């Protein structure tokens, strides 16, 4: 079975509490062998007596360090290309902007290396800044806010086939 990389939400950890192996298993839904593997990889225990206990701040620090190594930080003019698996710029820095709602917009471009579509979420407040960074080809307004449900203009006989 291939090794599975998981991201664990470390915000659920109470820093001042101590956690047993079973508590960690319940908190993150992992197997107890996984937690024992973490001990061998450097998760500090309070002592060597069984059952093993870990302080919450040590658990959070260990998981944050473990998960932080996989992150790839992009510059303002870069996207993370899912095919190349590295940050890339858009082809000739040309992008389209799609408004998702009043608080979010998506910047869409093509990878300079493999022509894979690239996406990045931003805020409409940064629109002027985005115009300075990218060559904006087109701005799409995806939907109309406050519109009614669509009206289907069909004849009942055509739908039922009678």
CATH numbers and ranges of domains, the chain: 10-68 (1.10.10.10), 78-141 (3.30.420)
Fill in the DSSP letter of residue 75. -
> Each residue's pLDDT tens digit in the chain (162 positions)?
445 557 888 888 999 999 999 999 999 999 999 999 999 999 999 998 889 999 999 999 999 888 876 667 788 889 988 888 889 999 888 999 998 888 999 999 999 999 889 999 999 999 889 889 998 888 876 554 555 555 555 555 555 555
Residue 120 has what DSSP assignment?
E
Q: Are 116 and 83 in contact (CB under 8 A)?
A: yes
Cα separation, 122 vs 146, in Å, equals 22
Q: Is the pTM of this model over 0.85?
A: no
């Amino acid at each position: 079975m291939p090794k599975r990389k998981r991201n664990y939400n470390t915000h659920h950890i109470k820093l001042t509490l101590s956690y047993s192996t079973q508590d960690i298993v319940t908190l993150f839904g992992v197997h107890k062998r996984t937690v024992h593997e973490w001990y061998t990889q450097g998760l500090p225990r309070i002592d060597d007596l069984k059952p093993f206990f870990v302080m919450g701040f040590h658990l959070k620090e260990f998981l944050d360090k473990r998960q932080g190594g996989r992150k790839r930080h992009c510059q303002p003019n870069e996207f993370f290309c899912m095919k190349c698996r590295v940050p890339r710029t858009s082809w000739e820095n040309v992008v389209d902007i799609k408004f998702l709602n009043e608080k979010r917009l998506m910047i869409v471009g093509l990878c300079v290396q493999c022509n894979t579509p690239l996406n990045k979420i931003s805020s409409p407040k940064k629109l002027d800044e985005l115009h300075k960074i990218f060559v904006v080809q087109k701005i799409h307004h995806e939907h109309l806010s406050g519109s009614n449900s669509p009206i289907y203009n069909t004849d009942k006989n055509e739908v039922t086939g009678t």
